[in-house]
């Protein structure tokens, strides 16, 4: 291969890196600085407050009732992420098992199944709140017709969280299915043939062949989905609004503090804590990708 | 077992499609019909679609204004992301760049950033340049936001183009730029189209930045719906349904177009089929 000058190389990759530093790294650093100030949204004078916000965040309710919100949002986000990812993985994997073999119209079926995950949660979430409405919603009308109880999905605090989870599952199960399907299709058929010769039971085949060979891709799917679910904001906004105690995720709390309360300093401190979690997960994800690529390279 | 399989497929197919079907039905109803507590037969009307041309209380723009913003911002940011992403992906695919792997992982990790965590500094920065409430502000932000996707997807596609093609061209006296423009770009056309679709959808659907940075002008469609939600006269459901339908139809069309590349798109090109 011909030698390329350093200037040529960097003129290809440089602009992207520069933009990412300007629009991502720089705001992040600024965010850290802001978290030590009492800056507000109006952009007026501000002062250094050192670690005041962090102290209050970590002492929780003792520092005042409004600081207990962070712990609650953290719990909501964690619970939401874990439940959403687990349910979507389970449903998605089962669906992939059902869809594994060829059949007529498979492409069409797959395409219809995949549509929900391409839609905007902010927009489709609003329409879902029409479907889930306790009085005129079609879901409760159907439940009524079937003689089942009809929860007040969007007004009963015990159900709001479940309603949001349900819509997320509706949107993202196809994502898990898509990746599971790729994992299932990549299993060499001769393994199944060998198992058949050995008269292995269905369960053994599933446990010893299907599951372990799919696991790396499933892990990738879980990491991708988890980093996304952690950011949950759009569904919260469109279904219950940002200030609802039972569905307030970290992103929704950030919005409330920064844009409704105008407290940029405190909001930035929240953001920094969130970022530590996100960066940790992103690191796990990239390391995992790296490991996966190395493993596949060897195989 | 086979019956169970078909039950699972048919059941989920119904679950996936029913809300979208109901969306279409609601858009043809009147507000009274949409609020009826027992659904029944009704005469379809396109009244709700007409309402989209009116501005709702407390706003001076109509749905069409928001749609125009969405199209302009979506298209321009997509073009920029794909162009920049293709160049960068080519660089990482063909040159020896010190720390290439770390740079690539850095690019990918920017995607994990929650928008709400960087929005305050971005807003403060934008105010210095009068960028809030402009097309340019959101275009720049969406371009950068989609770069990670564009670079990773395009790198996958460019890696698949044999190096021999451009090496032959380089030996024939093409410059590196000529080889890139005349050999790689035509070869990578499918990849660029697929990448463009994913960037467009992601810009089209974005809500957090649009709501916080462009709350007065140059606002995109998802924010329009957030505005309807707070309507004092109650949410006009048929109008919402009509707007949502118009908003999601392009996405459905694009999803069908790139169906073979969906796996790649949603996993940043890390899984190929």
Q: What are the boundaries of each domain within chain A?
A: 35-298
Residue B273 with chain A: CB contacts under 8 Å: 182, 185
Residue B168 near chain A (CB below 8 Å): no
Predicted local distance difference test score (pLDDT) of residue B86: 94
Token pair of B228 as six digits: 């309807």
Q: Look at the domain A35-298 and name its fold.
A: MetI-like fold (1.10.3720)
Mean pLDDT throughout A115-137?
Answer: 87
Taking each continuous run of H as one helix and of E as one strand, the counts in chain A are: 14, 0
Is residue B67 packed enough to be buried (19+ CB in 10 Å), middle (13-18) or exposed (0-12)?
Answer: middle
Nearest residue in B to A128, CA atom:
B19
Residue B259 with chain A: CB contacts under 8 Å: 107, 110-111, 114
CB pairs under 8 A between A and B: 284
Chain B, residues 52-71, CB within 8 A of chain A, namely none
Question: Has domain B64-266 been given CATH number 1.10.3720.10?
Answer: yes
Is residue B45 packed enough to be buried (19+ CB in 10 Å), middle (13-18) or exposed (0-12)?
Answer: middle
- Which of A30, A121, A238 is closest, CB to CB, to B229? A238
Residue B252 with chain A: CB contacts under 8 Å: 115, 118
CB contact under 8 A, A275 and B113: yes
Mean pLDDT throughout B97-118?
Answer: 85
Residue B197 near chain A (CB below 8 Å): no
Nearest residue in A to B240, CA atom:
A127
pLDDT digits (tens, 9 = 90+) for A66-120: 777 888 888 899 999 999 999 999 999 999 988 888 888 888 888 888 888 888 8
CA distance B16 to chain A (A): 6
Long-range pairs, B66-69, Cβ under 8 A, ≥24: B66/B219, B66/B220, B66/B221, B66/B223, B66/B224, B67/B221, B67/B246, B67/B247, B69/B135, B69/B214, B69/B218, B69/B219, B69/B220, B69/B221
Residue B187 near chain A (CB below 8 Å): no
Mean pLDDT throughout B106-110?
Answer: 86
Mean pLDDT throughout B159-177?
Answer: 86
CA distance B57 to chain A (A): 19
SS3 (DSSP) at B232:
coil
Confidence label for B140 from pLDDT (cuts 50, 70 and 90): very high
Predicted local distance difference test score (pLDDT) of residue A138: 85
Phi, psi for residue A133 in degrees, rounded to 5: -50, 135
Cα–Cα distance, A235 to B204 (Å, whole number): 16
pTM: 0.89
ipTM greater than 0.85: yes
Rg, chain A, Cα only: 24
pLDDT surpassing 80 at residue A238: yes
CA distance B106 to chain A (A): 9
Backbone φ/ψ region at B201: left (φ over 0), alpha (ψ -120 to 50), beta: alpha
Residue B212 near chain A (CB below 8 Å): yes
Nearest residue in A to B174, CA atom:
A2
pLDDT digits (tens, 9 = 90+) for A5-36: 888 888 888 999 999 999 888 988 888 888 88
Residue A243 near chain B (CB below 8 Å): no
């Amino acid at each position: 291969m011909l030698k390329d000058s350093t200037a040529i190389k960097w003129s290809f990759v440089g602009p992207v890196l520069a933009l990412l530093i300007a629009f991502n790294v720089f705001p992040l650093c600024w965010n850290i600085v802001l978290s030590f100030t009492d800056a507000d949204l109006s952009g007026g004078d501000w002062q250094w407050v050192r670690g005041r916000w962090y102290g209050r965040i970590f002492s929780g309710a003792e520092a005042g009732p409004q600081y207990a919100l962070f712990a609650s949002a953290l719990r909501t986000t964690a619970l939401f992420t874990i439940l959403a990812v687990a349910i979507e993985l389970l449903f998605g994997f089962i669906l992939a098992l059902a869809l594994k073999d060829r059949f007529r119209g498979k492409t069409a079926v797959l395409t219809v199944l995949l549509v929900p995950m391409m839609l905007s949660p902010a927009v489709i979430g609003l329409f879902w709140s029409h479907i889930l409405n306790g009085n005129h919603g079609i879901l409760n009308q159907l439940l009524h017709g079937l003689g089942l109880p009809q929860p007040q999905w969007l007004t009963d605090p015990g159900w709001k969280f479940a309603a949001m989870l349900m819509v997320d599952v509706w949107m993202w199960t196809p994502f898990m299915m898509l990746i599971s399907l790729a994992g299932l299709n990549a299993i060499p058929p001769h393994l199944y043939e060998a198992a058949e010769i050995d008269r292995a039971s269905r369960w053994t085949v599933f446990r010893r062949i299907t599951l372990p060979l799919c696991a790396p891709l499933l892990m990738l799917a879980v990491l991708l989905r988890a980093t996304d679910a952690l950011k949950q904001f759009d569904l919260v906004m469109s279904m219950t609004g940002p200030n609802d105690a039972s569905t307030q995720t970290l992103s929704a709390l950030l919005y409330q503090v920064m844009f409704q309360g105008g407290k940029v300093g405190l909001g930035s401190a929240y953001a920094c804590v969130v970022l530590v979690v996100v960066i940790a997960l992103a690191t796990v994800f990239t390391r995992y990708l790296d490991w996966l690529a190395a493993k596949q390279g060897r195989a | 077992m086979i019956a169970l399989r078909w039950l699972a497929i048919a059941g989920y197919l119904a679950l996936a499609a029913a809300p979208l079907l109901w969306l279409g039905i609601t858009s043809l109803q009147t507000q009274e019909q949409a609020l009826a507590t027992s659904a029944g037969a009704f005469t379809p009307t396109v009244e709700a679609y007409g309402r989209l041309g009116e501005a709702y209380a407390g706003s001076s723009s109509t749905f069409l204004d928001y749609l125009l913003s969405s199209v302009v911002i979506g298209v321009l940011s997509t073009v920029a992301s794909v162009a920049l992403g293709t160049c960068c992906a080519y660089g990482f695919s063909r040159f020896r760049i010190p720390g290439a792997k770390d740079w690539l992982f850095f690019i990918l990790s920017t995607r994990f950033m929650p928008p709400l965590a960087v929005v305050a500094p971005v807003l403060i920065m934008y105010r210095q340049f009068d960028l809030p409430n402009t097309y340019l502000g959101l275009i720049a932000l969406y371009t950068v936001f989609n770069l990670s996707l564009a670079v990773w997807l395009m790198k996958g596609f460019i890696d698949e183009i044999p190096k021999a093609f451009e090496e032959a061209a380089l030996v024939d006296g093409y410059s590196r730029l000529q080889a890139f423009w005349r050999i790689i770009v035509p070869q990578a056309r499918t990849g660029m189209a697929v990448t463009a679709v994913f960037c467009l959808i992601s810009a089209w659907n974005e809500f957090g930045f649009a709501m916080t940075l462009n709350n007065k002008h140059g606002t995109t469609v998802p924010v329009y719906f957030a505005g309807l939600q707070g309507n004092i006269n109650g949410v006009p459901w048929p109008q919402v349904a009509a707007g949502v339908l118009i908003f999601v139809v392009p996405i459905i069309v694009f999803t069908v177009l790139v169906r073979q590349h969906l796996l790649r798109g949603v996993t940043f090109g890390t899984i190929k089929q």
